[in-house]
Chain A
């Protein structure tokens, strides 16, 4: 049982991707909430004067990176939920009794959950184009994927950490709702953070999504609050912490 078992990781990744692509209803369901935000806010506030909006940037341009980040958060949280669903149906035992290290299992889930969450984010990005969104340069797409991958690792890792401390999927689902929306509203995804009270702004500074959305805005729209290097640095740190936390907490999960 090697510490990192590539074939085991691949098996878990393949399973996640197959399950995802095979249930179109799940994809539609995962896209629906971000899409509603995008369509209603994007069209409703178009042309509105929003305090703190960078000069010459249309609200839709501002909003799309935020919704892409939200779709990522939404998609990644399902990874934690699917672990608890596996436990509910007994499939988790089948995974845990295999000669594969817990670390490899966590890495497999992160690979699978990240892949499906990135697909969802990219679909939102593509769907925003008919609404009028314009990417500044084709070259920014690969960089955006790197940012999405770091965000995915952060939030799937967080989901695994949280799922490791929970035993029932219903309670987990409720908790996730209470976490997703504050993270979303406190990330500058919908409006510039300058308007918020100072104390709340500090909270935004420890929110990984803040840096993810800012970095996406930097590469997709060409405007950002922080330098891109700062955003990327913060994302690398948060991804490392959350993956480590997920692995550490899952290590202690009792199999039965």
Chain B
């Protein structure tokens, strides 16, 4: 049985279609990512799958339960971490977990045991009796992840789990997500607009734009579709002689020439930079710059939708407040090294 089956699911609001005829499946135990700009419909999809919103059309099952007909069974079998923090700041970490455990019907013995277990899992055991308002952003996130796991759900939804966290905390949070996916064996569905997050964390990634899935595969396969690395060579002068020489090289896959640059598509670009520079030297062309571009999910998104994640977000939504300052660094279009 697949963890999630979605069949031509659609959600229309008054003026927009947030989810537009989506179909996909998520396997059990998978760490599944949905990458797309803000406003692409990811959160709407999550809200539908966890029965908080009714779809306009289509159907979906979560753990085999129909999201329209069997809402209670769906809710029992999922955990969710919402995009905005949803903790009671006046209660302690352990009390927040106990509240949740009671709502999910856990008995006393099981409750105590599970609270200890999940607090251990996210390294919050030492601060369990501190009020949540004294927690840092990263600790709150971890507590929410722990809470999502208390009732041993088969599927855990994480809506932008690292939004607003600094780069270091973000990486640490990935570790926790990976750990519970492996240790607890829970299927994880996460949404993100950080391409690095989707790339490094997820087994498979669905690229979502304007309510549609434009591509779905492993991060490696998605990047492979881009045809390889690109070396961008900045030139001072005529490119023709260099291009002619490069075209004879077996390792060159494709060449694009612009006014001041030559784009060379190839595999393992970093190993060919010395060759390229030598050839340019030999034919007497002056190089002003060399840049290696590795394919990233950002470039995949760009080639599939014609805009960068950032541009797409700006088209659909106003710029968000509180966007972390390292946003640009992690989702920028060019990443020379991973």
Contact = CB atoms under 8 A, between A and B. Distances in A.
Interface of A: 1, 5, 7-8, 10-11, 14-15, 18-19, 22-23, 89-91, 93-100, 255-256
Closest 10 CB pairs of A and B: A1-B72, A11-B102, A98-B103, A255-B52, A99-B75, A90-B86, A90-B84, A94-B86, A99-B76, A91-B86
Interface stretch (B28-36, B87-95, B164-172, B238-246): B87-95
29 contacts: A1-B75, A5-B105, A7-B103, A8-B102, A10-B102, A11-B98, A14-B99, A14-B102, A15-B91, A19-B88, A19-B90, A89-B84, A89-B89, A90-B84, A90-B86, A91-B86, A91-B87, A91-B88, A93-B82, A93-B86, A94-B82, A94-B87, A97-B51, A97-B75, A99-B76, A99-B103, A99-B104, A99-B105, A255-B47
Contact of A255 (B53, B76, B85, B98): B53
Chain B interface residue count: which class? 20 to 34
Secondary structure of the A contact surface, majority rule:
helix
B76 A90 contact: no
B86 A256 contact: no
Given A1-B72, A91-B87, A256-B47, A11 B99 contact: yes
Interface in B265-297: none
B189 to A, nearest CB: 14
Contact of A256 (B52, B99, B103): B52
Contacts of A89: 84-86, 89
Most buried by A among B50, B51, B52, B105: B105
Contacts of A93: 52, 82, 86
A89 B53 CA distance: 19
A14 B94 CA distance: 14
Most buried by B among A11, A22, A94, A95: A94
Contacts of A256: 47, 52-53
Interface of B: 47, 50-53, 71-72, 75-76, 80, 82, 84-91, 95, 98-100, 102-105
Given A1-B75, A90-B82, A7 B102 contact: yes
Given A7-B105, A18-B91, A256-B47, A97 B99 contact: no
Contacts of B99: 11, 14-15
Nearest to B77: A99
A1 B74 CA distance: 11
Contacts of B86: 89-91, 93-94
Nearest to B89: A89
Secondary structure of the B contact surface, majority rule:
loop
Given A90-B82, A94-B82, A22 B90 contact: yes
A8 B88 CA distance: 16
Nearest to B51: A97
A6 to B, nearest CB: 10
A1 B73 CA distance: 8
A187 B85 CA distance: 42
B163 to A, nearest CB: 13
Contacts of A100: 103
A90 B85 contact: yes
A98 B105 CA distance: 10
Given A1-B72, A5-B105, A98-B100, A23 B52 contact: no
A98 B53 CA distance: 14
Given A11-B102, A98-B100, A256-B47, 20 more contacts: A1-B75, A7-B102, A11-B99, A14-B99, A18-B95, A19-B88, A19-B90, A90-B82, A90-B85, A93-B82, A94-B100, A97-B50, A97-B51, A97-B75, A97-B80, A98-B104, A99-B76, A255-B52, A255-B53, A256-B52
A18 B95 CA distance: 10
Contacts of B51: 97
Contacts of A22: 90
